[in-house]
């Protein structure tokens, strides 16, 4: 969503956002594809590059429809990725520099290892791995 909205004029942002949300909040993949066709029809003249990029990425963006519906909300967001990046920055920024690449590897490993250990007890994670 951020990638789309940063390419749009402020006066169109709310309308573009609503039309884009109609794509990923659709009831199923065919409705999402229909919502994209409506999005493309409405915005292709004003923002042709943005629409082409979205069209190119659409198959990957709609992959979450291949999984059980109760997992869709978790899969279509980047919160897990963003949270991990924030945690890595939070841990590495105070260190300013690292002695060598191995020292950086150790701190990154420790962060991801902690996430893995915490994730073993999450019910939705188990449901996701079983669905995959």
CA torsion sign, 83 to 85 to 89 to 92? positive
Mean pLDDT (the chain, rounded): 82
If you average pLDDT over residues 118-126, what whole number do you get?
63
Could you read off the pLDDT of 75-121 as tens digits, one per residue?
Answer: 766 666 667 777 777 777 776 677 788 887 888 888 888 877 877 76
- If you average pLDDT over residues 119-127, what whole number do you get? 61
Q: How far apart are the first and last CA of the chain?
A: 25
The pTM score is: 0.61
Greatest CA separation for the chain: 54
| Residue 17: predicted pLDDT | 94
Distant-in-sequence, close-in-space partners of 111: CB < 8 Å, separation ≥ 6: 84, 87, 88, 91
> Which residue is associated with the tokens 């999402």?
32
Structural contact between residues 57 and 39, judged by C-beta atoms closer than 8 angstroms? no
């Amino acid at each position: 969503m951020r990638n789309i909205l940063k390419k749009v004029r402020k006066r169109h942002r709310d309308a573009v956002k609503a039309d884009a949300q109609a794509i990923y909040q659709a009831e199923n993949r065919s409705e999402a594809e229909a919502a994209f066709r409506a999005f493309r029809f409405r915005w292709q003249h004003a923002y042709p590059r943005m629409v082409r990029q979205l069209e190119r990425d659409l198959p990957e963006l709609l992959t979450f429809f291949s999984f059980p519906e109760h997992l869709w909300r978790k899969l279509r967001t980047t919160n897990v990725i963003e949270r991990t990046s924030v945690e890595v920055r939070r841990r590495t920024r105070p260190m300013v520099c690292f002695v060598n690449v191995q020292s950086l590897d150790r701190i990154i490993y420790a962060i991801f290892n902690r996430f893995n250990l915490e994730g073993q007890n999450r019910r939705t994670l188990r449901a996701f791995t079983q669905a995959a």
